[in-house]
């Protein structure tokens, strides 16, 4: 156990180095020995039950002797997870379970909602000995779509009382799901809601069958079904095909970040304020000095 905690300590340190771009972070990333550990992403509206679902499936996976790393991205309270896990005795046991490692990250106002270093941090975790890495994202706007470029299986969590369906279906969130969960199935309307999603998928002609799982996370209902559906998806052709697409998405993001690295956004703003006053200002020729 002592060596395990030493390992976690090393991992925590490595994540901090990468998260804060401390000296050595580039060498650390460039020498990562990546394992093929799948990343499972949970997204959905605030309060849909994402954390409760993660708790529920952790119970099952830990019983299967799996090692799990959790990354919780939370803009408001970075300790939300710990307190949730600590809420109940059984979950408190998890919290001290040596097979479970939890890391909270602040979003730091990154536009998409995910922490700016999430790709790198997830990969640092993938260089350690986990069977699954679970990422819970704050369910606002762009972050849902961002998680699709990170997770090997993206789970969209909905609730029967989820409000404006039309809005949701327009937002692009439905398309990124590899799996739907209708949580809070103890509330009325879960079956009708599942039918609606099925119709939507049919209309969209989504290439492969997307499972819809009903759960009551707070009562441990549907956990086995969910774990089974996740494992089924991860073994599917769709998931295997997704792997190179994920690497491609990652490459694009990393290249973008590198290219923007030397650009001081504040200075750019100041430069624009001056330059735009000239009648001859043209944005296309203006940017040439930045690229
Ligand atoms: N009735 C009912 N309540 C649930 C269920 N699952 C979660 N809840 C409750 O819903 C609330 C939000 O649950 P969380 O798991 O924190 O939801 P979340 O999506 O992680 O929330 P954020 O991270 O804040 O976006 C809590 O009070 C849970 O107890 C469920 O299946 N049924
Ligand atoms: Mg949560």
Q: How many whole angstroms from 173 Cα to the centroid of ligand 1?
A: 19
Q: So what's the pLDDT on residue 138?
A: 64
Residue 73, classed as helix, strand or coil, is strand
Q: How many whole angstroms from 69 Cα to the centroid of ligand 1?
A: 21
Q: How many CB atoms lie within 10 A of CB 138?
A: 19
- For 259, which DSSP code? H
Mutational test site, ligand 1, from 48, 49, 147, max ligand atoms within 8 Å of CB: 49
pLDDT tens digits, 162-179 = 665 556 666 677 778 899
Q: How many whole angstroms from 249 Cα to the centroid of ligand 1?
A: 31
Question: What is the number of the ligand closest to the CA of 49?
Answer: 1
Q: So what's the pLDDT on residue 74?
A: 63
Q: Is the dihedral of CA 199, 201, 206, 210 positive or negative?
A: negative
pLDDT tens digits, 214-259 = 999 999 999 999 999 999 999 998 888 888 888 998 898 889 888 8
Q: So what's the pLDDT on residue 127?
A: 96
Q: So what's the pLDDT on residue 163?
A: 61
Mutational test site, ligand 1, from 43, 50, 52, max ligand atoms within 8 Å of CB: 52
Mutational test site, ligand 1, from 51, 71, 79, max ligand atoms within 8 Å of CB: 51
Burial 180-216 (b: 16+ CB within 10 A, else e): bbbbbbeeeebeebbeebeebbeeeeeeeebbbbbbb
Q: So what's the pLDDT on residue 65?
A: 93
Residues lower than pLDDT 70 in the chain: 74-96, 106-115, 138-145, 162-171, 205-208
Q: Is the dihedral of CA 159, 86, 141, 125 positive or negative?
A: negative
């Amino acid at each position: 156990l002592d060596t395990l905690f030493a390992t976690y300590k090393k991992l925590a340190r490595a994540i901090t180095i990468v998260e804060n771009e401390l000296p050595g972070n580039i060498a650390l990333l460039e020498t990562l020995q990546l394992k093929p550990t799948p990343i499972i992403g949970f997204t959905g509206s605030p309060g849909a039950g994402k954390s409760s679902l993660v708790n529920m499936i952790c119970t099952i996976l830990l019983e299967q002797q799996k090692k799990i790393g959790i990354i919780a991205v939370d803009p408001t309270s970075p300790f939300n997870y710990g307190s949730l896990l600590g809420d109940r005795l059984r979950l408190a046991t998890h919290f001290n379970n040596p097979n479970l490692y939890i890391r909270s990250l602040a979003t730091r106002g990154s536009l998409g909602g995910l922490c700016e270093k999430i790709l790198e941090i997830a990969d640092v975790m993938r260089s350690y000995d986990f069977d699954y890495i679970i990422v819970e994202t704050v369910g606002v706007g762009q972050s849902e779509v961002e998680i699709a470029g990170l997770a090997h299986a993206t789970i969209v969590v909905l609730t029967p009382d989820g409000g404006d369906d039309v809005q949701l279906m327009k937002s692009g969130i439905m398309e990124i799901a590899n799996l739907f969960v209708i949580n809070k199935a103890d509330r009325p309307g879960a079956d009708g809601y599942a039918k609606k999603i099925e119709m939507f998928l049919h209309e969209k002609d989504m290439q492969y069958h997307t499972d819809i799982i009903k759960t009551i996370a707070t009562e441990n209902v549907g956990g086995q079904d969910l774990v089974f559906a996740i494992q089924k998806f991860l073994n599917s052709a769709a998931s295997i095909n997704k792997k190179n697409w994920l690497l491609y998405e990652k490459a694009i993001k990393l290249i973008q970040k590198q290219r923007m690295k030397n650009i001081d956004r504040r200075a750019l703003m100041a430069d624009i304020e001056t330059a735009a006053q000239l009648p001859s200002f043209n944005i296309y020729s203006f940017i040439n000095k930045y690229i």
